[in-house]
A and B are shown apart, each in its own frame.
Chain A
Amino acid sequence: MNFAFTEDQIMIRDAAQSFLAEESGSAAVRAASASEGGFDAAVWQRIGSELGWCSIPVAEQHGGLGLGAVELVLVLEQMGRQLLCAPYFSTVCLAANLLTQCGSEQAQRRFLPAIAEGRLCLTAPLSSGVDDWSDAAVQVQAYRKGEVWTLSGHCPRVPDAGAADWLLLFAQVEGERAPALFAVPREPAGLKVETLAGWDATRRFSSISLDGVTLPAEDRIDDAARIEDGRVRAAALARLAIAAEQLGGAQQCLDLTVAYTATRKQFGRAIASFQAVKHRCAEMMVRIEATRSAVYGAAALAAGEELRVCHSERSEESGQILRCAQNDNENNPSQFTRCSSLYLECAAARALASDAYFYCAQEAIQLHGGVGFTWEYDPQLYFKRAQASSHWLGNADALRERIAQALIA
């Protein structure tokens, strides 16, 4: 057992840190988030082709680097810290993740290599529910007639939909218990994408409506055998990704505050020298490091599970069950997966990260004093992102209730 990062992991983290400090500073974030598309296409282009970050979690057989959750988390932490505006999270942490966890073999071959090469931008709903996308599925109905699927319904919150080449949407099919997953191209007849003007401009959301959108049979992309278990796993991993971004954001709130209080003088001394200020910064650091331990730990667990799937002699252990009520689990793989330590630890990391991020953002504003309340200083950007991200795939209270269900039954 070793919890230290490898040299390669440290290299990936440091490269992300320096690239994003250069390309996603405050001015760049403000410009990108106010632009038409909501992000800087040139930076996104470099991330995809030059830096190869989109290939990090994609399996080698699909042209990716086949790295694990640890590497991904380290990059996401830096993205969150610099509020990177780019459809990276949508493409990699939502779409590629869903394809890997519950896409058919054919769908994986179709999309993953292009994602890994940074040529394709995809997205999926980022709902506020804790139900691992079953809430998204009930809002879209799909009917099959011959070789053609017809989809109708709506998805209220899809990130980066304006930029996406494909939307991965869950839908309900009559007579099927599990939700189905469809790949919807950018501009079919009947698809309407309405961009929402969010207070948090660093991740742009759209509301999508489908009115009789028709798709060929091959655009249904789920693997029926894995969809129930897979969507729950994908949701867990997406929560871990959000937690990593939130961790980075919280860290930046602390860094901004420590830097500001070192230069701001009142009563003839830097306000950083007042114990009232020091203790508040220390408390921020405690929450950040606690979150960091939870995020890295869940990432190491996720990476270990990937390893176990590759070397399947140990795979029977991969879903360590807590005290989850066993009775109705046998017929319901999603309930079973929801009691796995991976699911619960990702939920814990995400709950801790949301709380820590908001705490640090509000402390940053308070400790900046009057300027903390202005448009000009950066704490407001983090404050808005902290609040917006607090409900992505379930808020902290809902996630804790999920954990309680597994612990107490």
Chain B
Amino acid sequence: MNLQPSPSDETFRAEVADWMRQHLNGRFANLVHRGGPGDEEVDPASRKEWERELAAGRWTCVGWPAEWGGRGLSIEQQVIFHEEYARAGGPGRMGHIGEGLIGPTLIAFGSESQKKRFLPGIVAGTEFWAQGYSEPGAGSDLANVQTKCWQEADGSWRVQGQKVWTSLAHESEWIFVLARSEPASRGRHGLSFLLLPLDQPGVRIQPIRQMGGGAEFNEVFFDGAAAAADHIVGKPGDGWKVAMGLLEFERGVSTLGQQMHFAYEFDLVVKAAQANGSSANPQIRQRIAQAWCGLRVMRYNALRMLSGGDGHGLKREALIYKYYWSNWHRELGKLAMDVLGPAGDVISDDPRIRPLQQLFFFSRADTIYAGTNEIQLNLIAERGLDMPREPRPAA
């Protein structure tokens, strides 16, 4: 165990911080600390431009191999990049689904022509992606996907059905879709993984308004929407394997960047408490200290994860992580509103209040998406404690 950064890591950290200082200003100044989860609708045009600014500095896809336009950074340096990005108030990444999910999936499972076609647009910040997994009847039980797909005589694919909770579909060019290619199949068998352009007659996008007033999620309806013959990732029927491989990429190095943002939100809460005097309230003080303890837990837990566990072979720290951060974040939201008191009940544009209200409402989603609390506890009990598995439908 060694928490000391190496000199080359420190140099790299300074380089990132310096670049951010020089570029995140002027026409991008209004984006500082904006555009994260719950705030994804903010100024999409300008945030896409920011993606291209990042690309010009070679700061997109920094963990990808150089062969595909990345920097091939080590885990440590990727962590540093995400930390400094967040510390500088770098805006929520419009390109995160491309960079963090579909890109790595194509690098692992895609054909050469798919890599050549799609990776450059992700690196350059010119093509944005949405994720078509969840359906009205396939939430926690993702394997119950009912959207259908079939192949036409010319080899192209058609998709019929509905996806839901599709972040940023209205701002994206492409969507990857998990759909059932074998009509009588059930569960995780008979699924395929397709890439579709969103701008076509067979696709209709309808926003879902959230409790906080915003609408960054959508329903996406497919009515015979088309995908090119070679835009299937893996073989027909391999969809589940590809879809699960993609979810593996969802966790990882950006975690510490997320924590920097949490620390920023925590600071906002402390400042609000100092400003209105609630910081003298012993219960508020207890909760602030408890939240700070949680920040330390998350940081060291992430470092444990990135160091490959503690030699037990069981990645216990990775199993608890999602449950821990999402519940911590939700509690921070409640603390923020309790600190604000009645002032929090009034819809506000005040930069000291609005982000805390957003945190309060949107953090309710944290314990639901990407595996609900209940699914997380099942996974922890079954994988972490080897307790009996929940019954699953026979395939």
Contact = CB atoms under 8 A, between A and B. Distances in A.
A277 B380 CA distance: 12
Interface string A1-25: 1111110011000000000000000
B336 to A, nearest CB: 15
A270 B387 CA distance: 10
Contacts of A184: none
B248 interface: no
B227 interface: no
A296 B285 CA distance: 25
Nearest to B274: A408
B320 A408 contact: no
Contacts of A324: none
Nearest to B9: A1
Contact of A279 (B289, B307, B381): B381
B381 A281 contact: yes
B385 to A, nearest CB: 5
Given A3-B307, A407-B292, A400 B285 contact: yes
Contact of B387 (A258, A283, A293): A258
Given A290-B294, A293-B304, A400-B290, 7 more contacts: A5-B310, A258-B386, A262-B387, A277-B387, A290-B297, A293-B296, A401-B282
A272 B382 CA distance: 10
Interface stretch (A97-105, A175-183, A195-203, A300-308): A300-308
B387 A1 contact: no
Nearest to A4: B307
B301 A293 contact: yes
B57 interface: no
A256 B300 CA distance: 27
Given A352-B297, A407-B270, A407-B292, A304 B4 contact: yes
| 4 smallest beta-carbon distances between A and B, as pairs | A297-B300, A400-B289, A278-B381, A273-B388
Interface string B291-334: 01110111111011011111100001101100110000000000
Contacts of B303: 1, 3, 297
A285 interface: yes
Contacts of B4: 1, 304, 307
Interface of A: 1-6, 9-10, 70, 254, 258, 261-262, 270, 272-273, 275, 277-279, 281-283, 285-286, 289-294, 296-301, 303-304, 307, 344-345, 348, 351-352, 397, 400-404, 407-408
Nearest to B391: A273
B288 A272 contact: no
Given A286-B380, A400-B286, A296 B296 contact: no
Interface residues of chain A: helix, strand, loop or mixed (majority): helix
Given A290-B301, A297-B299, A297-B303, A5 B293 contact: no
A228 B156 CA distance: 77
Residue among A10, A262, A278 with the highest chain B CB neighbour number at 10 A: A278
Nearest to A13: B311
A1 B2 contact: yes
A401 B3 contact: no
A76 to B, nearest CB: 16
Contact of A258 (B270, B311, B385): B385
Nearest to A405: B285
Contacts of B144: none
Contact of B317 (A254, A289, A402): A289
B377 A283 contact: yes
Contacts of A261: 387
A407 B377 contact: no
A286 B299 contact: no
Contacts of B378: 275, 278-279, 282
B292 A285 contact: no
Contacts of B289: 351, 400-404, 407
Contact of B380 (A285, A301, A303, A408): A285
Interface string B242-281: 0000000000000000000000000000100110000100
Nearest to A2: B2
Given A282-B377, A285-B320, A348-B296, A296 B304 contact: yes
A130 B279 CA distance: 21
Contacts of A2: 1-2, 307
B69 interface: no
A4 B388 contact: no
B324 A286 contact: yes
A60 to B, nearest CB: 19
